[in-house]
Each structure stands twice: as C-alpha cells, then as structure tokens.
A and B are shown apart, each in its own frame.
Chain A
C-alpha cells in the first residue's frame, strides 16, 4: 500500500515563527503536492513538485515556500507564520500518468496564535 506520512498531526506555533512541515512518501512517486483545506473553501493547492528540485506555484503560494531535495520528501515552509495560515495542511503524491490518483497523508492541523 502507498504510504504518505507527515511529520506532525497537530502543531501550535506563534505568529512570526518559521514553520517546517515535512512529507515523505514511500512509493517512488515523481509528483508531490501541498494543499490546505479550510471549511467551506475545499482543497486549495499551495505548491506542486513534478520531480526532484522542480516546483510550481499553485493557487495560494503567498507566504509559503517548498523544498524537494529528494524524491521521497517534500517540505512546506511558512516563512513567517500568520494567524490566517491556521489550517489543515495535506500532502499528496502520485505517479505522473493515468489515472493520476493521488494518495494523501493524514494531515497536519496547524494553529498559529
């Protein structure tokens, strides 16, 4: 079975802190994603990486950066956390070919106070 793990299930940080969220997948998938999920807003893509060291901005990249130095690991960085970044963060991975199903991690519930 595909496994996608995220470094923390719950995280509480203060405004202005730098926050690192890590995601690891064990299926040798080329593509990896970071989403955030908020009530009423659904899934929103923050960043996408189609391979090592490759990244593309999603719909809401402001305030975030990413790093993909190894195929299995995709990190999301909040440069200076703000209260409007309180959210559920979801990492996903997939192969870059049909049917393109995505496999998600368990999520990190981040609260910024």
Chain B
C-alpha cells in the first residue's frame, strides 16, 4: 500500500465545513483511496472510498486530485459527533489484505 501523509490535527467550528487533506504521491493505479475514522474508545468506522472520480455518500464527500496523488475528505457541516481521528489509506486490497493506518488526523470540533 502507498504511504499516506496527513496533518496531525485540525480544528473546526461546529456546523462549518471541514476539509481533511491526504497526500499519497506513490499511489499505484489499482489502489483505492479509503477513509476511516475512529471515535474515542471505538473501533474504526469506514467512511468513504474512491478510485478516480469524486464521490459522495451520506457521511462525507471525497475529492480526488486528477493525478491521484492527493485527496480531500469533506465533511459538509461538522458536528460534535465528528470529533475523531481520520485515517486515509491507499489500499489495493487484493494482494495485501491488511489495512495499515498511519497516524491520521485528529479532528477537534469546537461548539
């Protein structure tokens, strides 16, 4: 899996949009970009994935750069419940089934 780089921490005001960046400059053509988040004392939660095109689901949006070397997870209106560590993973899944999380970004949401 390609190495990913994320900021250690970010802050957002409640009900504001949040853009969480991730660099994955060594991503291969078969790697999907996955995002997971982990609330305190909980298991990781799958958020969204993408390959080349931007993606939306009920939790978030994923914007993928044209060269696929970076991506941004967008939370449209941050809530207190979104305070978590967010992990970006570039993952092919077929050969290397193990997920490897980096340090992730700790998102704090200010009321």
From the candidates A42, A58, A59, A99, name the one contacting B51 in the complex (CB within 8 A): A99
B7 CB–A CB distance under 8 Å: no
B42 to chain A: closest CB distance in Å? 6
* Interfacial residues of chain A within 47-83, with CB under 8 A of chain B in the complex: 48, 50, 58-59
Chain A: CB-nearest residue to B93: A100
Instruction: Look across to chain B and name the residue whose beta carbon is closest to the beta carbon of A103.
Output: B46
A2 to B102, CA, bound (A): 24
Q: Smallest distance from the beta carbon of B62 to chain A beta carbons, Å?
A: 12
CB-defined contacts of B44 to chain A, threshold 8 Å: 43, 90, 104
With a CB–CB cut-off of 8 A, which chain A residues contact B36? 104
Q: Are A100 and B91 in contact (CB under 8 A)?
A: yes
Do A98 and B43 touch across chains, with their CB atoms under 8 A apart? no
Asked if B43 and A101 sit within 8 Å, CB to CB, the answer is no
Q: A-side binding surface: helix, strand, loop or mixed?
A: strand
Q: How many B residues face the partner with a CB closer than 8 A?
A: 22
| B34 and A99 contacting across the interface, CB-CB below 8 Å | yes
Closest Cβ neighbor of A31 among chain B residues: B97
> What is the minimal beta-carbon distance from A85 to any residue of chain B, in angstroms?
18
Are A99 and B49 neighbours in the complex by a CB distance under 8 Å? yes
Asked, given contacts A99-B32, A99-B51, whether A48 binds B43 with beta carbons under 8 Å apart, the answer is no
User: Given A98-B32, A99-B32, A99-B49, do A45 and B98 touch, yes or no (CB 8 Å)?
Assistant: yes
Which of B94, B97, B101 sits near A42, CB closer than 8 Å? B101
Tell me how far the C-beta of A9 lies from the nearest C-beta in chain B, rounded to whole angstroms. 9
Task: Check if A102 is an interface residue, CB within 8 A of chain B.
Answer: yes
Chain B interfacial positions (CB closer than 8 Å to A): 32, 34, 36, 41-46, 49, 51, 91-94, 97-103
A-B contacts besides A59-B98, A99-B49, A99-B91, 9 pairs, CB < 8 Å: A33-B98, A90-B44, A99-B34, A99-B93, A101-B46, A101-B49, A102-B99, A105-B43, A106-B42
